[in-house]
Amino acid sequence: MNLQFVVDGLLAGSMIGLGAIGVTLTYSILRFSNFAHGDFMAWGAYATLAVVGAIGAIFGKIAPIAPLSFGWPLIVALIIGMAATGLLALALDMVLFARLRAKGQAIIVVMASFGASMALRSLLEFIFTSRPTYFSRAIQIAMPIGFGIRITPDQIALLLLTAVLVLGVHLLMTRTQTGRSMQALSQNAALARIVGIDVARVVRVTWIIGGALACVAGVMIGILIQIRPFMGFEMLLPMFAAAILGGIGSVPGAVLGGLIIGMAEAAAVQLIGAEWRAAVSFIILMAVLFVRPIGLFGVRER
Amino acid sequence: MSQKVLDVRDLEAGYEPGVPIVRGASITVDQGEIVVVLGPNGAGKSSLIKAIAGLVPITGGTVLLDGKNITASPAHIMVRLGLAFVPQTENIFPLMSVEDNLRVACGILRPREVPARIEEMYAAFPDLARQRRTAAGNLSGGQRQMLAVARALIVHPKVLVLDEPSAGLSPKFVAMVLEMLAGIRKSGVTILLVEQNAKAALAIGDRAYVLVEGKERHQGVASELWNDPVVAELYLGQRRLDLGQGSAA
C-alpha cells in the first residue's frame, strides 16, 4: 500500500480542521450552525488574491522565496486577508445574525446563514467570475521523503503554518482571559454576564478568529488546488462533520476531527475509489456518534 | 445611622410589560449588614434582587449603590459598579476548573493582582484550594455554593447579593453556607440575601424584610422577627393556611 495518502490526508485535514474551528466556536458560543462559514474561506482566498494583485501592481514582479511557489507578497496578503475575512464575518453578524439572534429563534438564524452563504458566493461569481484561478501557476517538484511519500515545499510550509495556528488558538482558549470568557459564554451565557463578561465583545472576538482561520484554509486550498467561488461551500459538510466528530465546542476536537476526515477521504480515494470520498467521512462520523454521541472531545451537558 | 450601601426605592419590575412582579418595593442595606428578604412563595423575592442586579427589566423606581444611581445597568456592568450577584442555580461554569471559574471573574481586576487574589480566596475557602484543578461540575452542592460565593467576592464588591444560597442543599450544608455568609460579613462585606429557609436566615441576619405580592410589608431586627405576630400573619400565617387546606382535603 502506498502511504502517500498520509500527506494528502494531513493537508485535507488541515484545511477542514482550520475551518471546523470556526464552525465549532460559532456553534458553541452563538448556538447556531453557520452555513456561510465555507464562504468565508472563499472570500478569504479571493481577498488575499486581490491583495497579492495589488502588491504586484505597486512593486512589480517579486521572486518567490527559495523553494516555495510564493514570495512575501502572499504572506503579507494572507495577513491582510485574515483581517478582512474576520471583519467580513463581523459585518455579517452585525447586519444579519445579531438582529435575528435578538429575536431568539435559532432555526431562523441558521436559515439566514444559508441565504447569506448563497449571496456571498454569488457575489464572488459576479466580481471574479466562476472560472478557477490560481495564486501561482508554477509547478513544484515533490520531494521523496521515504516510505514512498512525496511532499512539496509548499505543503510542508502550510502544514507547519496550520500547526502554529492551531497551537495559538488552543493557547488563546485555555490561557487567556478572552479564551476563558469564550468558554464561560459557551457554558452559561446568563452567568457569563453576571460575572462581568462583556458578551458582545467576546462574540466579536469569536467571529474574527473564525473568519481569520477560514481565510487561511481558503488560501491553503488556493495554493494547493485552485481558487473558485464554490471552494468553501464544498468544504461545508466535511467541516461540520469534523466539528461534530471532535465534539462541539472543542478546538483540539475540531482539528482532530478534521484530520480524521481528511485522512479517511484520502485513504478512500486510494483504496476504494474517488467516488466514495464523501461517503467515507460520513460513515466514520455516524459510527463515532453511535458509540459516543457527544463526539471525541465533547463533554456531556449536565 | 450608618451609611446606606444599597438604597432601593419604589422598585417596579417584571419580565413582561404591564405585568409587574415587583410592585413598589423599597429596601435599604447599611454598610456591613446582612439583610434578609423573606416572603411566601411567589412574593417576588427573587425577581426583586434580580431586578436590582440588572437581570429583570425595571419599569419604575431607583436603585442606588453608595449613592450612585445604578438602576437597570446591564448585568455585566454591575460587577464594575460594585454589586456582585450569586444566582440560585447554575451559578458555576461546570466544565471549567475551580481555578478558572475564579479567574474568569477577575476581568475587572488588574492582571497583576489576580494570582494573589485567587490565593486569598483559597485561604478563605480551603475546600476550594484542595480542588483547584477539579472541574467545577464535579463539586458537591455545598462546595458549588462556596465557589459561586468566592467568585462573587473576588472582585471586592461593595455588596454581595444572593438568591437563596441554601436552595437544594441538605440541612448540613444549609447551616454551613449560612455560617459562611456570617463569616464573610465579619470581614466587612455587606450582604443582601433572599431565603426560603427563614429561621436559619434570620439567625445570621441583622435585619429582615417581609415581601408580599411584590412589596415589602414589614421589616425589623432579624432576631425579633421570628416571633413577630405580624410576620406570622403575613408569611408564616399563609403557610399555616396552606397546611390547613392540606389537612382539610
CATH of the domain at B201: 3.40.50.300
Residues on chain A touching B151 (C-beta within 8 angstroms): 195
Q: Which CATH class is domain A4-291?
A: mainly alpha
CB contact under 8 A, A177 and B92: no
In chain A, what are the domain boundaries?
4-291
Which strands sit side by side in the sheet containing B58-65, from one edge to the other?
B22-30, B4-13, B58-65, B68-69
Q: What is the pairing mode between strands B4-13 and B22-30?
A: antiparallel
Q: How far is B78 from chain A (nearest CA, A)?
A: 7
What is the per-residue DSSP string for A108-158?
A: HHHHHHHHHHHHHHHHHHHHH-SS-B-S--PPPPPEE-STT-EE-HHHHHH
Q: Which residues contact B133 (CB under 8 A, 6 or more apart)?
A: B97, B98, B99
Question: How many whole angstroms from its chain centre is CA B207?
Answer: 14
pLDDT of residue B174: 87
Average pLDDT, chain B: 89
Residue B93 is nearest to which of A184, A193, A198, comparing CB atoms?
A184
Give A28-45 pLDDT, tens digit per residue.
999 889 999 999 999 999
Helices A4-30 + A251-271 axis angle, to 10:
140
Q: For residue B170, tell me if it sits in a domain.
A: yes
Q: Touching check for B102 and chain A: CB below 8 Å?
A: no
pLDDT of residue A301: 54
Q: For residue B77, tell me if it sits in a domain.
A: yes
CB contact under 8 A, A191 and B93: yes
Q: Is the pLDDT of residue B212 over 60?
A: yes
Domain extent at residue B43: 4-88+156-248
Q: Touching check for B87 and chain A: CB below 8 Å?
A: yes
User: Best residue in A176, A178, A191 to probe B by mutation, most B CBs within 10 Å?
Assistant: A191
Q: Touching check for A104 and chain B: CB below 8 Å?
A: no
Instruction: Give the count of beta carbons closer than 10 Å to the beta carbon of residue B241.
Output: 11
Tell me which residue of A171, A176, A200, A199 sits closest to A187, measured CA to CA.
A199
Tell me which residue of A49, A30, A132 sits closest to A89, measured CA to CA.
A30
State the Cα–Cα distance between residues A222 and A290, nearest whole angstrom.
Answer: 35
Q: Touching check for B197 and chain A: CB below 8 Å?
A: no
User: Best residue in B46, B55, B76, B77 to probe A by mutation, most A CBs within 10 Å?
Assistant: B76
Mean per-residue pLDDT, B49-63: 95
Query: CA angle, B155 as apex, B162 and A199 as ends, to 5°?
Result: 80
Q: Touching check for B157 and chain A: CB below 8 Å?
A: no
Helices B114-124 + B141-153 axis angle, to 10:
140
CB contact under 8 A, A181 and B137: no
- Considering only alpha carbons, which residue of chain B is nearest residue A187? B93
Q: Is the pLDDT of residue A76 over 50?
A: yes
Query: CA angle, A254 as apex, A250 and A257 as ends, to 5°?
Result: 130
Residues on chain A touching B107 (C-beta within 8 angstroms): 177, 181, 195-197
User: Best residue in A29, A175, A194, A202 to probe B by mutation, most B CBs within 10 Å?
Assistant: A194
Mean per-residue pLDDT, B42-64: 94
pLDDT band at B247 (very low <50, low <70, confident <90, very high): very low
End-to-end CA distance of chain A: 45
Mean per-residue pLDDT, B131-155: 94
pLDDT of residue B238: 54
CB contact under 8 A, B103 and A193: no
Task: Calculate the alpha carbon distances from B153 to A131, A189, A271, B92, B168 in Å.
Answer: 61, 20, 60, 14, 22
Q: How far is B93 from chain A (nearest CA, A)?
A: 6
| Residue in the structure block whose three cell numbers are 488563546 | A172
pLDDT of residue B130: 95
Task: Calculate the alpha carbon distances from B127 to B123, B179, B186 in Å.
Answer: 9, 15, 20
Q: Is the pLDDT of residue B237 over 60?
A: no
Q: Touching check for A181 and chain B: CB below 8 Å?
A: yes
Q: What percent of chain A has pLDDT over 70?
A: 99
pLDDT of residue A142: 84
Q: How far is A191 from chain B (nearest CA, A)?
A: 7
pLDDT of residue A83: 98
Q: How far is A203 from chain B (nearest CA, A)?
A: 14
- Considering only alpha carbons, which residue of chain A is nearest residue B79? A196
Q: Touching check for A95 and chain B: CB below 8 Å?
A: no
What are φ and ψ of residue B140, in 5° steps?
-70, 165
Q: Touching check for A200 and chain B: CB below 8 Å?
A: no
pTM given for the model: 0.89
CB contact under 8 A, A184 and B96: yes
CB contact under 8 A, B107 and A196: yes
- Considering only alpha carbons, which residue of chain B is nearest residue A197? B76
Q: How many domains, chain B?
A: 1
Q: Is the pLDDT of residue B12 over 50?
A: yes
pLDDT of residue B246: 37
Q: Is the pLDDT of residue A219 over 60?
A: yes
Q: Is the pLDDT of residue B186 over 60?
A: yes
Q: Touching check for B155 and chain A: CB below 8 Å?
A: yes
Helix (H, G, I), strand (E, B) or coil at A248: coil
Give A92-107 pLDDT, tens digit per residue.
999 999 999 888 788 8
